Amino acid sequence: MSGAEGPAAPVAAESGAAAVLAALDERGGTLAVAESLTGGLVAAELTAVPGASRTFRGSVTAYATDLKRDVLGVDGALLAERGAVDAEVARQMAAGVRRLLDTTWGVATTGVAGPDPQDGQPVGTVYVAVAGPLDTGKVVALRLNGERADIRKESVRSVLGLLLSELSGNGRAQDTEENGGI
């Protein structure tokens, strides 16, 4: 259903949320979510997992472009020039929610679920992003097919998969740093 750039492996949302929360808990990390096209679905998947409150701090559903700017701190000139459906907007949303809610990790979703194109982008154009400690982060561009609900569901799975991938790689680097190096 999707063509993704980058290593975000498709993950079932339920198992992805549980795996993400377990990995965060193991590392003593916390998570915040910034959502646009998913409208709270990422937060809903996370909070469906018992014990989520140990690591999940909260979310911002910034559906309107001005909220991305005013609440999450996305650059207004960037939004005016490129619109809300953009890789750099996703990156800034993830970094902004991480900063706003004072967490170790932040994730974001922005894109076009349909039925109509937005900001010159076709339906199915989605960007998912992760921002982590030490200014680490990653954005993945997705080109998804299907109905609106399918695109939103796949976006949730993709952002959770991306975060799990980053936690796996960055968790080892963070452990090494905390232990004074190799």
Which of 55, 73, 27, 54 lies closest to 178 in space, CA to CA? 27
Whole-angstrom Cα distance, residue 129 to residue 123? Answer: 19
Instruction: For residue range 101-117, list pLDDT tens digits in order.
Output: 999 999 999 999 999 99
Whether the bond between 115 and the residue before it is cis, its omega within 30 degrees of 0, is yes
Whole-angstrom Cα distance, residue 126 to residue 124? Answer: 6
Q: List the chain domain ranges.
A: 2-178
pTM of the complete model: 0.86
Whole-angstrom Cα distance, residue 45 to residue 164? Answer: 14
CATH number of 2-178: 3.90.950.20
Instruction: For residue range 43-81, list pLDDT tens digits in order.
Output: 999 999 999 999 999 999 999 999 999 999 999 999 999
